[in-house]
Amino acid sequence: MEHVDLAIVGGGIVGAATFYKFQKKYPNLRIGLFEKETDLAGHQTGHNSGVIHSGLYYKPGSLKAKNCFEGRHELVSFVKEHNIAHDICGKVIVATEESELGSMENIYKNAVENEIEGIKKLTPQEVKEIEPFVECIGGLFVPVTGIIDFVAATKKMVELALAINSNSCLFLNHEVNSVVHKEGSSEIFTNKGNYSANYFVYCGGLQADRLAKKDGVKLKEKVVPFRGDYYELSEEAKHKVKNLIYPVPDPAFPFLGVHFTRMTDGSVECGPNAVFSFKREGYSKTAFSFRDTWDALTYQGTWKLFFGNMKYGIDEYRRAFSKKLFLKSLQKMIPSLTMEDIVPGRAGVRAQLLSQNGDTRDDFRIELHGNAVHVLNAPSPAATASLSIANHIVKTAEDHFNFKKS
């Protein structure tokens, strides 16, 4: 049976960053990265909006705020060093109604408390100087926000880790079905064979709660998936967006709202919305899994979220199936957009560890269990914060496991 000192389960950017950080610090440690798909970054990492977040929205002092700030700096240095496609282009947040000005002021104060560099208030004319097609009554400029190819960054982290120790391995197409703990080490049962390991780090994303339960973690919460659909601007309309344009988020709704993102390949995406997904890894509007649906709809937290956000939820579903309604939400910021300007794009599914009372605002959750570290909740800005999250995981493991630095 093939043995590794440390098994990392999950080949998204958090798993890749953890692999990279462990291998850099412990070059003689034999590490196995287990990923159930045929390639890395196949789910949340490869389906998100590709934004390097500044950290302005998160509660000061929270893991999200701390790791986003530190992770952003480290990520930007990493991608510069390794020539990963990125652009620190900045973004504008725009208010289009008087009722949004109070929330925008709160965002500004929160950003100042989180020490977001260079944030400033904008007049409508100043917004137009940055984004000429936007109509608004005020805005914020966040210069440290950027865009990035997260998939390329993920693959580079794994490539660098493997170059440090040729005995470490990437196990693609290896789904971890169960783990049996024994004296001294544990046995990993996968669809491609069995392995043994001394220690584990689980970075399962959309499957985080299920992997935790397989390891015996007594987890009250469940991952509930939310799909986000995107449109793209047509070639003729791309000039209407220079970089990133966000609305002022509604504090009563747990998601940021649809926005405009110029991607690293020059395309411009509009979205995402946020609707309950009937399949954790389903990227079409009709994707369905009985198991995933049953898991979510038999959980009280799902229904508490639904009933607490009934109007928003219905509006999001209507918009998911109506191009006209989707366009209407985009026209709040850029009124000149037409039906011909937007074409259907891709979709992503975000993993949200939902509390029993329906609260989606849980911080990053990283917990120790036996000989394993579990990343239980890592929604946005986890990709931006990935290298900082990895530092946190390494420190947690060092405090509890017997790693010997060579």
Q: How far is CA 314 from CA 85, 103, 319, 350, in A?
A: 37, 23, 9, 19
The architecture (CATH level 2) of 222-359 comes to: 2-Layer Sandwich (3.30)
> CA–CA separation, 69 vs 67, rounded Å?
5
Looking at the chain, the domain(s) classified CATH 3.50.50.60 span 2-45+151-220+363-400
Note the pLDDT of residue 405.
Answer: 60
**Model confidence pLDDT, tens digit, residues 198-248:** 999 999 999 999 999 999 999 999 999 999 999 999 999 999 999 999 999
Per-residue pLDDT for 254 more than 80?
no
Rg (CA), the chain: 21
- Over residues 324-337, the mean pLDDT reads 97
Q: Among 67, 162, 166, which Cα is nearest to 384's?
A: 67
The CATH homologous superfamily for domain 2-45+151-220+363-400 is FAD/NAD(P)-binding domain (3.50.50.60)
pLDDT of residue 406: 46
Torsion of CA 276, 278, 284, 287, to 10 degrees: -170
> In the chain, which segments carry CATH 3.30.9?
222-359
Segment 346-373, tens digit of pLDDT: 999 999 899 999 988 789 999 999 999 9
Judge whether residue 263 has pLDDT over 90: yes
DSSP code per residue over 239-257:
GG-SSEEEEPPPTTSSS--
Q: Give residue-wise pLDDT tens across range 25-65.
A: 999 999 999 999 999 999 999 999 999 999 999 999 999 99
Residue 347 neighbours by CB under 8 Å, 6+ apart: 47, 227, 228, 229, 230, 272, 283, 284, 285
Contact call for residues 344 and 222 (beta carbons, < 8 A) = no
